[in-house]
Structure 1
Amino acid sequence: MAASFENTELLKKTELKSSVNLLHRLVDGICHRPRPAYDEFSKIWSLQDWWALTDTYTDLFKEAVKNTWTKDTLFEKLQGLDDDYKSVVFDVVDSRRADIRSQLLNDSHALSQANMTDFDWKLKLVMSSDKISSVQEPDLALDMEVQTTEGRKTVSVELNKQQLSNLINSLEGANKALVQLKS
């Protein structure tokens, strides 16, 4: 899915020198430090333009680091800007790449403090139920040992064929995202 960065040209409303400071402060916002306040820039942009500008560049910085964009790729995404502004944006991304990457990893890690330490599985064939005399459907019993901040606990789930397929697809997607972030 290609992200759209339609409001990049809004940066041209400020001087080149001011844009460097603004972009670095937007990266600070990504890193959970103080972001630039609208009050400082209310004479340059309307509130809607300000939101569009900050959202666009915040998303652009995250995508550029996550997908390890080259200078040429970044310049392609910034079609509405002059080369001087494109160079400023690239310099900010390049100089703050480690900060942004570290924060993206921390944010994704903070989603869950639980780690699976072990698992056990059993495959069962359900032959019948109290409502149907002949079912013959496979079920998987999955026991997972999970380490949380409160200690260890066992999570048990029983999955039919479709649920197991969905779980495997979700785990493969999570693994791909993790591999992409690590590279």
Structure 2
Amino acid sequence: MASEVAKEDLNLLSKCPKDRIEAFCHGLIDGFIGRSKLRYKDYGELWTMEEWFKVVDACQRCVKRMSRKQLTKEEISQLFDGVSDEYIQPFVSCVNVRSEDLRKHLLEEVASISHSHLQDFDWKLKLALSNDKISSVQEPLVTVEFITKSGDESKSFSVEMNKEELKQFVSSMEAANKIMVQMKTE
């Protein structure tokens, strides 16, 4: 863990007054999830520019790690190795309060690794009574519309499947989900 977050970078937190640490943590999380970022000019009297980048980077790594896994108190203490508990507790509180925002951001971050990702889908069930070759078919068909997002651009495409194709599609999605679950637990 020490290789992930430099101990001396986290120790820079001690320069921040205790009454400002919670606001710092919330600002850090806001910046992390894509809202307004912390500004150096608000904390410039506490840290040099170099120290600012180090402390923000170290704290973001800790917040990211805390939000990915449910860490025990001992693991959190190891993560913030050498930092006073009065500085650790506001981080724990902020991560707990903002856990849904953090989880959503991490999922979006993982999903955006590929060029495009699934944003939404919709489905419709139809009953085909006949077609141009057979007068009486009575075959159920499902139309699935996929909406994908690539950057700021959304695209939509539809796939029509019969009962067998739908079963095959669902089983392949279940297999993909099983692999995702295995990857999360490892």
TM-score by length of 1: 0.62
Report the equivalent of 2:14: 12
In structure 2, relative to structure 1, the CA distance for the partners of 1:76 and 1:13 (3 Å cut) is same
- State the Cα deviation string for residues 147-174 of structure 1 (Å, max 9, x = none): 753647xxxxxxxxxxxxxxxxxx9xx8
> How far off its partner does 1:111 sit?
2.5
Task: Kindly report which structure 2 residues correspond to 1:36-115, keeping only aligned pairs within 5 A, or say none.
Answer: 36-112=38-114, 113-114=116-117
- In structure 2, give the amino acid aligned to 1:5: V
Residues matched between the structures, number: 132
In structure 2, relative to structure 1, the CA distance for the partners of 1:110 and 1:82 (3 Å cut) is same
Report the equivalent of 1:163: none
Question: 1:64 touches 1:93 (CA, 8 Å); kept in 2?
Answer: yes
Tell me how far apart the structure 1 counterparts of residues 104 and 183 of structure 2 sit (CA, whole Å).
13
Question: 1:8 touches 1:53 (CA, 8 Å); kept in 2?
Answer: yes
Question: 2:2 touches 2:79 (CA, 8 Å); kept in 1?
Answer: no
Q: Which 10-residue stretch deviates more, 67-76 or 7-16?
A: 67-76
Tell me how far apart the structure 1 counterparts of residues 90 and 75 of structure 2 sit (CA, whole Å).
15
Report the equivalent of 1:175: 180
Aligned CA RMSD, in angstroms, stands at 2.8
Tell me how far apart the structure 2 counterparts of residues 19 and 94 of structure 1 sit (CA, whole Å).
15
> How far off its partner does 1:175 sit?
3.3
- Show structure 1 runs of 5+ residues with no match: 116-146, 153-170
> How far off its partner does 1:2 sit?
7.1
Tell me how far apart the structure 2 counterparts of residues 178 and 63 of structure 1 sit (CA, whole Å).
16
In structure 2, relative to structure 1, the CA distance for the partners of 1:77 and 1:84 (3 Å cut) is same
Percent identical among aligned pairs is 22
Question: 1:71 touches 1:90 (CA, 8 Å); kept in 2?
Answer: no
In structure 2, relative to structure 1, the CA distance for the partners of 1:23 and 1:52 (3 Å cut) is same
Question: 2:40 touches 2:52 (CA, 8 Å); kept in 1?
Answer: yes
- Show structure 2 runs of 5+ residues with no match: 119-145, 149-154, 159-175
- In structure 1, give the amino acid aligned to 2:49: L
> How far off its partner does 1:95 sit?
1.6
In structure 2, relative to structure 1, the CA distance for the partners of 1:99 and 1:12 (3 Å cut) is same
Question: 1:5 touches 1:56 (CA, 8 Å); kept in 2?
Answer: yes
TM-score by length of 2: 0.61
> How far off its partner does 1:71 sit?
2.4
